[in-house]
Every structure is written in structure tokens, then in C-alpha cells.
Amino acid sequence: MKKRIFLFLAVIMGIIPAMKAEEETCFTPETQQTTEEVAPLYRSIYAELFGASNLIGISYDSRIKPGSPFGYRGGISYVAGYQYILFYSDKMSGFAIPLEFNCILGKRKSKFEIGLGVNLGIYSTEQSLFLNENGYPAIFEPAYKVTVSRSTFGYYFFSNIGYRYQRKNGFMLRVGVSPSFSFSGAHAVKKDPFLYPYLSLGYTIGNK
């Protein structure tokens, strides 16, 4: 009986150090590095309607590093518009690049997002004046029109405040409002109205 008890204790004394050694091995720097790599980077590509993209655009969005709430986005967008008032018309179109620094908050798939950025674009305008035979503005049956076309660089600042549904991989959704503003100057673009809604649909890739 005593021999069995002694043998049992010897086995226990041998198992305990082995368990401690295994536990220490599980928390080596290599394991900690692997744990950090598992944190999502949230790299996404999405299409955006209105907001910072003016009319429509596509952007790439990513966190600065895995697990960080801070990130950035860059893309390309297109805008086109037409305005006709009595004897005057104004056409405008252009391509722009929205650049943004943003932050997403929330541990679940539903997140709050906020961002601040600048939109840099090249815009083409065509302004036409409808005149009668005597050279006066004509509302009805104009004889001819005078058109002035030009292309110019323009910019404005914007912010994003809204809701983001984002998984580690797969479908993503953004919806919110984008207040915009610019300083006075030759190349400042004034957006009217001041507050634009936005809707984005996209896909998140590259997370394990």
C-alpha cells in the first residue's frame, strides 16, 4: 500500500513540472505575436453614393494597423450636374479624389464612424447664355447662344458621421451624413446644401 502511495505521489510530482513547462511554452513571444496578427485590419473596398464622393465613387478603406480604431480612406469619384434658369444654363462635371482620416468605434459588427478629409478635383463647366437677334437675353425662341467653357482645380473639406456595419470578412455597409465646407478662395468649391447624406456598399477582405 505504501509503495502504491509513493508511486502515485512520484507520478504527480512529475506531471506538475511538465504542465508548467507546457503553460510557459503557450505564452512565448511567438504566440503573442500570432495573437496580435489575428486582430482585424478591416481592409475594405466600397462604392459610395453622394457624401464625399459628390455623386458616385469607389474607395479603399483600411485601419492603420490591426486592432486600431484609426484608419484612412482614398478613392476616386465623379460628379455631374445641369442647371437651367430662364435664358441661362450651366453644366458641370468632374473627377475628384476624396482623402480621409477616420475612426470606427465598437467591438461588434455595428460600429460608429467619424472622419475628416479633403476632396481634390478637376471640374469642367460650360456656361451658356441664350440671346435673341438683337443680342438681348431671350427666354423664348432664342436666335443663338454664347457658350464659355473652362476646366479648373477645386477643393473642399468634408466630414463623415454615421453608422458602419462591418465584419472581419464579407459584406459592409455605411450610412450617414457628410457636412462639407471650404475656405474663401479661387479654387474653393461650395457645396449646396451644406449637409449631404451618403450610402456605401462594399466588401471587407484579407482578415483571418
What is the C-alpha to C-alpha distance for residues 133 and 145, in angstroms, rounded to an integer?
10
Range picked from 52-56, 64-68, 112-116 for highest mean pLDDT: 112-116
Q: What is the CATH number of the domain that holds 115?
A: 2.40.160.20
Same domain as 49, residue 23? no
Same domain as 171, residue 148? yes
Q: pLDDT higher for 175 or 25?
A: 175
Which residue range is the domain that position 143 belongs to?
Answer: 40-205
Q: pLDDT higher for 122 or 23?
A: 122
The residue type found at 105 is: L
Same domain as 44, residue 33? no
Q: Could you tell me the pTM of the whole model?
A: 0.71
Residue range 69-76: average pLDDT?
A: 96
How many structural domains is the chain composed of?
2
Instruction: Output the DSSP codes for 18-45.
Output: HHHHHHHHHTSHHHHHHHHHHS---EEE
Confidence band of 208 (pLDDT split at 50, 70, 90): low
Q: Which residues of 15-46 are buried (b: 16+ CB within 10 A; e: fewer)?
A: eeeeeeeeeeeeeeeeeeeeeeeeebbbbbeb
Same domain as 160, residue 79? yes
Confidence band of 193 (pLDDT split at 50, 70, 90): low
